[in-house]
Amino acid sequence: MNTLYKRLLGGKSGLTNLVVLAVLLLLVLPLSLDIFRLNLVGKYLTFAFVALGLVLLWGKAGVLSLGQGVFFGLGGYCMAMFLKLEASDPVSTKIQSTPGIPDFMDWNQFTHLPAFWVPFRHLPFSLCAVIALPVLVAGVVGFAMFRRRVGGVYFAIITQALALLLSLGIDGNQGYTGGRNGITDLRTLWGWDIRSNSAQYTLYFATCALLIMLIMAGQWLLSGKMGKLLNAMRDREDRVRFSGYDVSAIKVFIFCLAAGLSGLGGALFVLQVGFISPSLVGIIPSIEMVIFAAVGGRSSLYGAVYGALVVNTAKSLFSESLPQLWLFLMGGLFIAVVVLFPNGLAGAWELGKRKAGPLLEKIKSRRRILLPDAPLVSAFEQEKS
């Protein structure tokens, strides 16, 4: 039990981090924000799933991917396809030329539902596809690249090109994907209105619960043999290979894991926001997702959550208050974090704790000198009585 506790929580410090995060997400924010702002926070937390995957892939394994928006978008589109088909029943679409198909297909003069859309009428298939499709794509790409020992900047450029190709492919096939507008007007999930305030609260807490559980699962993974292999592979890949381990297989596994987390985040994004478009799949959002992990601390699972929250909150506040300068302010924020805190917010927190440790010890030692010892006071009181 003690070993399981250490692996899931990372000891006393890990438990403290988990409690602080849980209190912030489950108590402080819901009690202090209205439903509109809380829904924004829920949207920001969906990006934290991508940042978690990047911590495992980039921070621990040393593999930088600039195409995580691909897997975020694939998961989001899988969920959006089910929701769109549910919203496109024959009764709701009776004014269309072809009732029973999504509106953008009717606008493009489709007379029947494309074959690859048909399985998404079923929620169990859609939920499996949310994770399985990103994992499958990541497996194919990872196997092709890592078996040929393609890594470093070359792998980053290839994943970036993949993000560009997918966004262009979605944008150029309006009849099948909704095109530049994406898939919109998503209303219900098995008859449950996802636009209501109660649904938004439920989705927010479900997102928080999933995020906390995945952090614990990630901590469990990193505290075992896999975590040691990832760190060793990041620092000295050749030594790991010469020791008899299949480095390419490990990279494929962690790349697929990061892709699955991104796909799950994309599905939750669609449920909370109610749409998905190619603007969330391309190069720019993929780079922003890397920034979330960098700002939070690319080696910290908890830092990934705080990085996603801080960057997206700053982005919203700057764009609302200073719409003409917010891009410059965001750039200044990133530069300041990189220069002042190279290890992100998590690194700044750890540095602060290390510096505060000696100060706290001095305070405790002075307190022991100035205050009488408790056992002596107790003995004096006993003698007096």
pLDDT digits (tens, 9 = 90+) for 31-46: 999 999 999 999 999 9
As beta bridge partners, residue 188 has: 193
Which segment of 7-11, 196-200, 291-295 scores lowest on mean pLDDT?
A: 7-11
Which of the four pLDDT bands, split at 50, 70 and 90, describes residue 5? low
Residues 6+ apart with CB under 8 A from 170: 73, 77, 177, 178, 179, 182, 278, 281
Of the two residues 344 and 142, the one the predictor is more confident about is 142
Of these ranges, 126-140, 164-178, 237-251, 289-303, the one predicted with the greatest mean pLDDT is 126-140
Backbone phi and psi for residue 276, each to the nearest 5 degrees, phi listed first: -150, 140
Does 338 have pLDDT greater than 80? no
Does 379 have pLDDT greater than 90? no
Which of the four pLDDT bands, split at 50, 70 and 90, describes residue 1? low
- SS3 track for 270-316: HHHHCCECHHHCCHHHHHHHHHHHHHHCCCCHHHHHHHHHHHHHHHH
Mean pLDDT of 359-367: 65
Which of the four pLDDT bands, split at 50, 70 and 90, describes residue 206? very high
Does 121 have pLDDT greater than 70? yes
pLDDT digits (tens, 9 = 90+) for 128-146: 999 999 999 999 999 999 9
Burial string for 186-195 (b: 16+ CB within 10 Å, else e) reads beebeeeebe
Instruction: Answer for the pair 283, 92: CB distance below 8 angstroms, yes or no.
Output: no
Residue-level pLDDT at 20: 92
Residue 250: name the closest of 136, 153, 143 by CA: 143
Mean pLDDT of 152-168: 92
Mean pLDDT of 103-117: 91
Indicate the average pLDDT of the chain.
87
pLDDT digits (tens, 9 = 90+) for 313-337: 988 888 888 877 777 877 787 777 7
Does 384 have pLDDT greater than 60? no
| Separation of alpha carbons 90 and 97, rounded Å | 11
Which segment of 13-17, 19-23, 25-29, 103-107 scores lowest on mean pLDDT?
A: 13-17
Does 306 have pLDDT greater than 70? yes
Which of the four pLDDT bands, split at 50, 70 and 90, describes residue 380? very low
Residue-level pLDDT at 367: 62
Pairs from 245-253 (Cβ < 8 Å, separation ≥ 24)? 247/146, 248/143, 248/146, 248/147, 248/149, 250/61, 250/226, 251/61, 251/63, 251/142, 251/146, 251/151, 252/138, 252/139, 252/142, 252/143, 252/146
pLDDT digits (tens, 9 = 90+) for 272-303: 999 999 988 988 899 889 989 988 888 889 99
Residue-level pLDDT at 356: 67
Does 247 have pLDDT greater than 90? yes
Residues 6+ apart with CB under 8 A from 247: 146, 233, 237, 240, 241
